Amino acid sequence: MKLDVAMNSIKSLDELSMKLAKDKLDGLTKPLNSLGKLEKIIIRLAGILRTPEPEISKRAVVIMCADNGVVEEGVSSCPKEVTSTVTQNFLKGITGVNIFANYAKTDLVICDIGVDDELSNLTGILHKKIRYGTNNIAYGPAMTRDEAIRAIEIGIDIVEDLYKDGYRLICTGEMGIGNTTTSSAITSVLTSSNPSEVTGRGSGLSDIAHQNKAEIVKKAIDINRPYLDSIDILSKLGGFDIAGLTGCFIGSAAMGIPCVIDGFISGVAALLAISICPQAKDYVFTSHFSKEPGAVKLFEAIEMEPLLTLEMCLGEGSGAVLSLVIFDAALEAYNKMGTFEDAKIEKYTPQI
């Protein structure tokens, strides 16, 4: 699906379904609004899925895998080859997101959108490679504008296919050495923040390496001057993984299903999606608060609060999948709690 078609397909949330969900919640045997954010989750799911009885048992985490040319600048403590290794390890079921996804009954969709390795012989991977990694943003644009749009549309198409297969919730994940650098650069521009404020240690950089990383982020911004629009920012500073996830958020909104942010990198993709297509925001859910310092500016920019604070920074979609346990608990209460009539208690009424 083309980007413009997807954007034009997004509908407002269904107000009637949200009202009916709220009425049902208020009729359950509990004080009004006493389930807090759980009630907000249920009401918004009702509006997104356009039914007062939302159901999200068939869900998937889409993991966009890609390499980033900026690793040449020493911005990561891990060698570039780890991107390919972990991508293949997803197939073995041994990574963090594998464990959490199995626990949360969530399917994995692994997409090679730009890994700098030949993976086309492997089954179980969506082969959508644009090319073998991006260019080094310290010396020029990561990709062309056309490549950025193509990557966004790959994400849109993946969600569209999942929707046709019956999936009704998407989590977002990524794998790409160097992608906290690209994410920091995008966050710096989109939030008008100093690179040093939003650049973290990634996978454990030393003080000197961390300082170098922040300087590389600043250099990339100064050289590329990414100020035309959000796609310009993405194409000059981003990665294929971030671009693909941006498409997942827009595609989910177009299909009318919720999409869950994981951590910092997928949060950057959500911010890009919202800046490109503001109406997509209604379909975005948060999961956890990443340890990456840029997450603070990110959540301020999207004006949303994280659901969990667990000091996680694993990536892969692990936090997004883990948060579904909360979603499931909310729906379990919504569907199985008794009413005031069942409990023989007089219904609570607002006192103000």
The predicted-structure confidence for 138-147, as pLDDT tens digits, reads as follows 999 999 999 9
User: Is it the case that residue 71 has pLDDT exceeding 90?
Assistant: yes
| pTM, two decimal places | 0.96
8 Å CB contact between 191 and 230: no
Same domain, 18 and 116: no
pLDDT over 70, % of the chain? 99
**CATH number for 26:** 1.10.1610.10
What are 69's two structure tokens?
């040319």
Same domain, 200 and 120: yes
Same domain, 99 and 32: no
Rounded-to-10 torsion of CA 82, 314, 257, 92: 50
- Is residue 316 annotated as part of the catalytic site, yes or no? yes
User: Is it the case that residue 304 has pLDDT exceeding 80?
Assistant: yes
**CATH number for 279:** 3.40.50.10210
Which position among 53, 160, 316, 346 bears the catalytic label?
316
User: Is it the case that residue 105 has pLDDT exceeding 80?
Assistant: yes
Same domain, 26 and 63: no
Same domain, 186 and 207: yes
User: Is it the case that residue 351 has pLDDT exceeding 70?
Assistant: no
Distance CA 292, CA 207 (A): 15
Provide the pLDDT for residue 340.
81
Same domain, 150 and 15: no
Mean pLDDT of 317-331: 97
Same domain, 290 and 223: yes
Same domain, 7 and 152: no
26: confidence class by pLDDT, cuts 50, 70, 90: very high
What is the tally of structural domains in the chain? 2
User: Is it the case that residue 55 has pLDDT exceeding 80?
Assistant: yes
152: confidence class by pLDDT, cuts 50, 70, 90: very high
352: confidence class by pLDDT, cuts 50, 70, 90: low
Lowest-confidence pick of 34-38, 83-87, 114-118, 310-314: 310-314
The mean of the pLDDT values for the chain is 95
In a domain, 351, yes or no: no
In a domain, 253, yes or no: yes
Structural domain harbouring 26: 3-53+333-343
**What are the distances in angstroms from CA 199 to CA 124, 193, 235, 296?**
34, 10, 19, 11
In a domain, 349, yes or no: no
The predicted-structure confidence for 250-299, as pLDDT tens digits, reads as follows 999 999 999 999 999 999 999 999 999 999 999 999 999 998 999 999 99
pLDDT over 90, % of the chain? 89
Distance CA 232, CA 144 (A): 9
**What are the distances in angstroms from CA 348 to CA 29, 46, 104, 342, 351?**
9, 23, 34, 14, 9
Provide the pLDDT for residue 223.
97
Mean pLDDT of 183-200: 95
Q: If residue 110 lies in a helix (H) or strand (E), which one and from where to where? A: strand 107-114
Question: Strand runs (DSSP E) across 225-313, as ranges?
Answer: 259-260, 284-285
**DSSP string over 111-167:** EEEE-SS--TT-TTEEE--SSSS---TTTS-SS-HHHHHHHHHHHHHHHHHHHHTT-
Q: Give the 3-state secondary structure of residue 316.
A: coil
92: confidence class by pLDDT, cuts 50, 70, 90: very high
Mean pLDDT of 324-346: 90
Task: Identify the DSSP state of 67.
Answer: -
User: Is it the case that residue 346 has pLDDT exceeding 70?
Assistant: yes
